[in-house]
């Protein structure tokens, strides 16, 4: 007799997992087991007779998708299935649909996914062609405006039509040139992966219907974080039976700055009037003390689905609060406390996270950890963003798509081939015949190498291909001949080979899947691929969402830093988002939480006196204890 897996869930989780027909909204608080509930619901559908390949589950990060996929496979291990549910991120879903219909869009199956670096490079070239200084008109800011418009489902034509301010008019012009640049390379940027998918489904009803018939049961995780395009994509994929299950928490909506619309979740009942709503309020992660503090913090917000977290865990330790003279004293307190936790064997470095509101705060924290020889890992340096890893990936992309000029530009002189910028400019301007014979030979040899790589990849796995390119490109020999830094880079490429092994089982699709995952990797993915990540984790609060740690230090709790003056405090919705951000930070902690602030902090070279964050006063006094910070500041200035 088959095991009743739903008995492993609490009553509300079981209610959600067993409701399999029609629209379902699961309001899941922090640490309430939403991934477990979603996974068990998928398994329950299969055991009720639904074919696994009729089930779609979409989330926001590779880490979350992998966790759900691994849990699903583990729970299905007692049966044999030829197919599995389609579990992916939104962007990976877009890539899948676009590749299946690439010919309709005038793309090849091997179209390039332009990452932020590629996109900004195209924008920089566009600025230069208009005699505009990229230092004055920052490419990152222009790309951000274009990205926000695409996420809000605003077309380039509409943006240009409504542009009034000189900067917006300039962005509209750059946007046009940017799209031409992408097209010339046979590339799409991150936003296009979703936008073009939506446009495809809207333009071709028969294609939309084919996916509605393919995926009859749809699950969307972190629904509160969907933007307009993601919301529209979800609506297009839902069939007439409205078998859609969304999971979210309005209290964890912290991405409005990149288009996330909390109204998508708040209006779910209007979109689907017959929807069932299930509240998951039991927290399995944190102590009673941390949960009580979190409830007190978030209850001041108005734009939320009311709920009250509770837990059956222990009361736990009080929340430690450190009042430091300045940021150096604050950092030394945190480093010393971590040193003591590790020395007493209460924790390992990897069990500990230091969270901050702004990236600049990490410098002094790193110095304090280094001085005590505490290993640490700064989240934000993606494994796939490392130069040597990007070089290998560019070789792969350029071999599969020789129109990808960004990749050609990157690797044509790796290792050095004596091909200069002037030569490259002539090559890209279709003036190859004007080059000296010797240079033509060099370039022809380079393209022959790319063709060789392409042929090799057609009959070999991803890991074999990476090893082959590493050797035949000459990169391996060059790195081996270098110093310690070059050998470390070689180790990173070898780690890429190890990672590629996981894709080999997909056969001829393995190299495409590796490229897709590399292009869509997030900051959190560096935790999965970096061998040197066993240290204390340093990250922004935004980056910590979805993670959990035994010990959490939240730093810089000063008014105008957290909540941030540049973002929070302007309007009601802005201030509420800052409060939600603090709530997310607090609920990352399992065992013990430390909060700290500095009376004086140097920002942009100016020392300023601070008042404590308003958030600190929201925490009842009986939940906190004052921590001593008996460390001298490195600054000897006396303020009277």
Query: Residue 53 and residue 347: Cα distance in Å, rounded?
Result: 42
Which residue in the list 221, 351, 391, 512 is annotated as catalytic? 221
CA contacts within 13 A on the Cβ side of 210: 10
Q: Which residues contact 309 (CB under 8 A, 6 or more apart)?
A: 29, 30, 31, 32, 281, 282, 283, 291, 294, 295
> Using CA atoms, how far apart are residues 533 and 629, in angstroms rounded to an integer?
28
Q: How far apart are the first and last CA of the chain?
A: 78
- Pick the catalytic residue from 71, 580, 588, 592: 588
| 252 is known as an active-site residue | yes
Q: How is residue 444 written in tokens?
A: 């022809």
Alpha-carbon span 156 to 191, nearest angstrom: 13
Active site residue 386: no
Catalytic residue among 89, 112, 250, 252: 252
From 35, 108, 402, 624, active-site residue: 35
Reply yes or no on whether 222 is catalytic.
Answer: yes
**Is residue 253 within 8 Å of residue 580, measured between CB atoms?**
yes
Catalytic residue among 118, 222, 614, 627: 222
Sequence-distant (6+) residues with CB within 8 A of 215 are 54, 55, 56, 86, 237
Query: How far is 166 from 515, CA to CA, in rounded Å?
Result: 38
Q: How far apart are CA 570 and CA 528, in angstroms?
A: 37
Q: Which value, in Å, is the radius of gyration of the alpha carbons in the chain?
A: 26
Q: What is the 3-state secondary structure (H, E, C) of 455-480?
A: HHHCCCCHHHHHHHHHHHCCHHHHHH
Catalytic residue among 12, 13, 14, 34: 34
| Residue for token pair 């409701």 | 19
Q: Directed axis angle between helix 387-400 and helix 510-519, to 10°?
A: 130
Could you give the residue numbers annotated as active site?
A: 34-35, 221-222, 252, 588
């Amino acid at each position: 007799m088959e095991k009743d897996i739903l008995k492993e869930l609490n009553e509300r989780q079981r209610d959600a997992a067993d409701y399999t027909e029609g629209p379902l909204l699961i309001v899941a608080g922090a640490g309430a087991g939403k991934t477990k509930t979603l996974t068990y619901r998928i398994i329950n559908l299969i055991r009720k007779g639904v074919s696994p390949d009729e089930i779609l589950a979409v989330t926001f990060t590779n880490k979350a998708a992998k966790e759900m996929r691994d849990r699903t496979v583990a729970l299905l291990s007692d049966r044999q299935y030829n197919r599995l549910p389609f579990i992916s991120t939104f962007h990976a879903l877009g890539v899948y649909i676009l590749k299946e219909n690439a010919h309709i869009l005038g793309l090849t199956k091997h179209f390039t996914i332009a990452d932020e670096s590629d996109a900004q490079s195209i924008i920089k070239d566009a600025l230069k062609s208009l005699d505009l200084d990229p230092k004055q008109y920052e490419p990152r800011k222009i790309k951000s405006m274009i990205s926000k418009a695409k996420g809000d489902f605003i077309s380039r034509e509409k943006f240009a039509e409504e542009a009034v301010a000189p900067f917006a008019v300039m962005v509209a012009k750059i946007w046009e040139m940017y799209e031409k640049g992408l097209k010339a390379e046979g590339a799409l940027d991150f936003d296009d992966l979703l936008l073009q998918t939506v446009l495809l489904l809207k333009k071709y009803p028969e294609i939309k219907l084919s996916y509605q018939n393919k995926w009859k049961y749809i699950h969307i995780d972190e629904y509160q974080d969907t933007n307009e395009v993601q919301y529209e994509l979800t609506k297009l994929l839902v069939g007439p039976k409205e078998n859609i299950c969304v999971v979210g928490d309005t209290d964890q909506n912290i991405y409005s700055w990149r288009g996330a619309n909390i109204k998508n979740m708040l209006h779910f009942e209007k979109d689907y009037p017959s929807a069932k709503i299930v509240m998951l309020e039991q927290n399995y992660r944190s102590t009673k003390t941390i949960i009580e503090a979190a409830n007190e913090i978030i209850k001041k917000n108005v734009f939320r689905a009311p709920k009250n977290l509770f837990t059956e865990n222990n009361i736990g330790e009080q929340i430690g609060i450190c009042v430091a003279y300045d940021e150096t004293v604050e950092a030394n307190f945190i480093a010393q406390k971590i040193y003591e936790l590790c020395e007493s064997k209460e924790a390992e470095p990897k069990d500990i996270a230091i969270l901050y509101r702004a990236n600049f705060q990490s410098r002094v924290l790193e110095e304090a950890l280094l001085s005590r020889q505490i290993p640490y890992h700064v989240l934000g340096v993606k494994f796939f963003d490392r130069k040597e890893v990007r070089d290998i990936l560019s070789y792969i992309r350029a071999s599969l798509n020789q129109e990808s000029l960004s990749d050609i530009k990157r690797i044509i002189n790796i290792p050095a081939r004596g091909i200069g910028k002037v030569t490259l400019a002539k090559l890209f301007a279709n003036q190859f015949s004007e080059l000296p014979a010797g240079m033509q030979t060099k370039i022809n040899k380079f393209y022959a190498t790319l063709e060789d790589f392409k042929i090799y990849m057609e009959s070999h796995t991803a890991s074999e291909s990476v090893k082959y390119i590493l050797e035949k490109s000459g990169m391996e020999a060059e790195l081996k001949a270098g110093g310690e830094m070059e050998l470390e880079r070689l180790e990173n490429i070898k780690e890429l080979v190890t990672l590629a092994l996981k894709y080999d089982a997909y056969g001829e699709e393995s190299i495409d899947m590796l490229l897709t995952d590399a292009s869509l990797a997030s900051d959190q993915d560096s935790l999965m691929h970096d061998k040197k990540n066993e240290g204390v984790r340093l990250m922004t609060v935004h980056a910590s969402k979805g993670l959990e740690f035994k010990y959490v230090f939240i730093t810089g709790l000063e008014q105008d830093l957290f909540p941030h003056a540049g973002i929070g405090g302007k309007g009601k919705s802005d201030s509420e988002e800052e409060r939600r951000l603090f709530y997310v930070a607090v609920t990352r902690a399992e065992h013990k939480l430390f909060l700290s602030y500095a009376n004086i902090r140097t920002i942009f070279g100016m020392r300023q006196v601070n008042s404590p964050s308003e958030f600190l006063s929201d925490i009842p006094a009986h939940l906190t204890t004052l921590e001593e910070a008996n460390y001298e500041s490195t600054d000897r200035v006396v303020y009277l």
